Structure formats: C-alpha cells, structure tokens
C-alpha cells in the first residue's frame, strides 16, 4: 500500500509537517509506503480560468501540478493537511484545489484518478475555535469527493500557534500520535 501525505503549509518544517510526520511514521511502522510532499516547495501557478480543460481534460499550464497529480494517481491513500489561515485553508491549498479543475465532473470531458483511493484530512489552528478546523476538513473532504477519493478519516487540533506549542503540549502530541496509529491500523489490519 502506498500513501501520499501532502503538507499544505508554506512551511516545510512547521506544526503541519510535524503532524504529517506522525502519520508517516505510523504508516511506515505498519508497512505502508509513505511519501510526503510540501506544497510550499512546489511551483505551480494560479488557475487562469481559461476553461481550456473543459475541452481537453488537461490544464494548459505546465508546472509541478502534473507531478503532484501523478503522485496522487499512484497512491492508494492521500492525506492532505492544512493549517488554519484566516479560518480557511492556506493559499497554497486553495490554488491547488483550483488547479484540479480538469478533474471536475461539472464538464465533459474530465480527467479522473484511478478509483478506490481513500482520503485523510488534517487541520490545525492557532485559535481555540474548532469551527475553523472543521471548515478546513470539509473543504479537503469536498476536494476528495470531487476527485473520486473516499474520505476515510479526519483529525484536527486547536491552540497550536508555534512549533513549541505543539512540542510542549504532550496531550496534543499524544492525541495526534494516537490518531495516526489508529488510522494506520485501520488501513492495514
């Protein structure tokens, strides 16, 4: 089994990466091949709104999106994790979602990922209001459904402002590690 874990943060080594790393470790312990990718290190442009993909099921732009979508096509499990940026996903993830327009079933022809994929959504917030994290999870799960990926699990944590906050809060770390372990067990009983 192969998993692609996407960190939607612009930071490669922040709190989101730490949570993704916990899941990657749990997956590897269960024999799941886990590859991580940080959207902040990729180079892709805004959707131009040209609707060229409505005719060809392919984006007219050539950048790292094709590579990311190929990695998604080859994965059985796809995890997307986003920190809370003003009550929403990061700009990196929003642009990524927009660039998935060739896969929208709102037009024919449309591109499609191979079937049978499962999705995991993660969100974290500096604030204490869980509604913002829940909105992020809903947006990621909506992307999964649009891409034909079955949402399988989600996790969020609030009150994480700095890397030190996550590392100092043993309860939050333990809760995230438990989630990672349980989802790994569920994927490989």
In this prediction, residue 188 has a pLDDT band, given cuts at 50, 70 and 90, of: confident
* Burial track 70-103 (b if 16+ CB lie within 10 A, e otherwise): eebeebebbbbbbbbbeeebbebbbbbbebbbbb
End-to-end CA distance of the chain: 12
What integer pLDDT is reported at residue 169 of this predicted model? Answer: 73
Q: How far is CA 77 from CA 94, 110, 161, 174, 189, in A?
A: 20, 22, 28, 23, 15
What residues form DSSP beta bridges with 78? 4, 119
pLDDT tens-digit readout, 132-183 = 999 999 999 999 999 999 999 999 999 887 766 677 777 888 888 899 999 9
Average pLDDT of span 2-29: 95
Average pLDDT of span 39-64: 96
The DSSP call for residue 103 is G
What residues form DSSP beta bridges with 153? 120
> How far is 84 from 184, CA to CA, in rounded Å?
25
- Residue located via tokens 């180079």: 43
Q: List, in order of start, the domains of the chain with CATH numbers.
A: 2-187 (3.40.50.360)
What integer pLDDT is reported at residue 164 of this predicted model? Answer: 65
Q: Positive or negative CA dihedral for 99, 100, 103, 108?
A: negative
The DSSP call for residue 59 is -
What integer pLDDT is reported at residue 171 of this predicted model? Answer: 81
Token couple for 168: 């100092």
Length of the chain: 189
What integer pLDDT is reported at residue 160 of this predicted model? Answer: 82
The residue among 43 and 176 whose pLDDT is bigger is 43
pLDDT tens-digit readout, 73-126 = 999 999 999 999 999 999 999 999 999 999 998 899 999 999 999 999 999 999
What integer pLDDT is reported at residue 36 of this predicted model? Answer: 98
> How far is 138 from 40, CA to CA, in rounded Å?
21
Rg of the chain taking only CA atoms, in angstroms? 16
Cis preceding-peptide flag for 145 (omega within 30 of 0): no
């Amino acid at each position: 089994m192969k998993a692609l874990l996407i960190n939607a943060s612009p930071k490669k080594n922040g709190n989101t990466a730490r949570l993704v790393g916990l899941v990657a470790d749990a997956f590897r312990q269960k024999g799941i091949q886990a590859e991580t990718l940080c959207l902040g290190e990729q180079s892709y442009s805004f959707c131009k709104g040209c609707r060229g993909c409505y005719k060809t099921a392919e984006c007219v732009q050539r950048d790292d999106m094709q590579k990311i979508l190929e990695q998604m096509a080859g994965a059985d499990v796809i995890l997307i994790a986003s920190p809370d940026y003003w009550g929403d996903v990061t700009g990196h993830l929003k642009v990524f979602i927009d660039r998935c327009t060739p896969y929208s079933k709102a037009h024919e022809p449309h591109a499609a990922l191979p079937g049978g994929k499962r999705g995991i959504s993660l969100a974290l917030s500096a604030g204490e209001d869980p509604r913002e994290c829940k909105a992020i999870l809903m947006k990621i799960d909506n992307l999964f459904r649009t891409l034909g990926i079955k949402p399988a699990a989600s996790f969020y944590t609030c009150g994480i402002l700095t890397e030190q906050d996550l590392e100092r809060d043993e309860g939050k770390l333990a809760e995230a590690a438990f989630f990672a372990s349980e989802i790994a067990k569920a994927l490989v009983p």
